[in-house]
Structure 1
Amino acid sequence: MPCFVFVEPSGDGWIVRGDFSDSPLDFTTGARAEQAARDLAHRLAEAGEPVVLEIRLRNGARAGRFLFPPYAGRPDAP
């Protein structure tokens, strides 16, 4: 079962939340939140976890959905 990570608006900032212990993480900009979520997704994929990253816009619409397959340190991984 994949780990889910979400980037979404929260009040006057943005949060990254999901199936990880430090959830949610607060950010002042969407770009910083998205970069942190992508970094987290890569780390989880490197550890062997499949990850689904979903990014939302201010109006709640989905901006993107990305799959990070587990690659567990394989040298031929993308």
Structure 2
Amino acid sequence: MPCFVFVAPSGDGWIVRGDFDDGPLEFATGVRAEQAARDLCHRLSDAGEPVVLEIRLRNGERAGRFLFPAYLAEPTMPVALRA
């Protein structure tokens, strides 16, 4: 079962939250939040955990959903797939 990571607006900034023990990570801009979420997803997939990243806009609409497959030592596999 994949791990889920979400980027969403929060008050004056943006948060990254998901299936991890730490509380939500807070960022001033959506770009920084999205990059941090992608970095986290890459680290989790490199560790063998499939990850779904979902990014929301300020109006609540989904901006994107990406699948980061578990790394299987296959260098020709795509890094992330748009879901």
* Shared fold per TM-score greater than 0.5: yes
Residues 1:20 and 2:20 are matched in the alignment = yes
How many Å separate the matches in 2 of 1:75 and 1:51? 17
TM (normalized to structure 2)?
Answer: 0.88
Unaligned segments of structure 2, at least 5 residues: 79-83
Runs of 4+ in 1 over 2 A off after TM superposition: none
Matched residues, number: 77
Matches within 5 A, 1:1-78: 1-72=1-72, 74-76=73-75, 77-78=77-78
CA-to-aligned-CA distance 1:4-58 (integer Å, 9 cap, x gap)? 0000000000000000122300000000000000000000000000000000000
Matched position secondary structure for 1:15: strand
Q: What is the percentage of aligned positions where both structures have the same residue?
A: 79
Q: Per chain length, whose mean CA-contact separation is higher, i.e. which structure has more relative contact order (CA < 8 Å, sep 6+)? A: 1
**Greater shift after overlay, 28-37 or 63-72?**
63-72
TM (normalized to structure 1)?
Answer: 0.93
Unaligned segments of structure 1, at least 5 residues: none
1:75 deviation in Å? 4.9
How many Å separate the matches in 1 of 2:40 and 2:7? 12
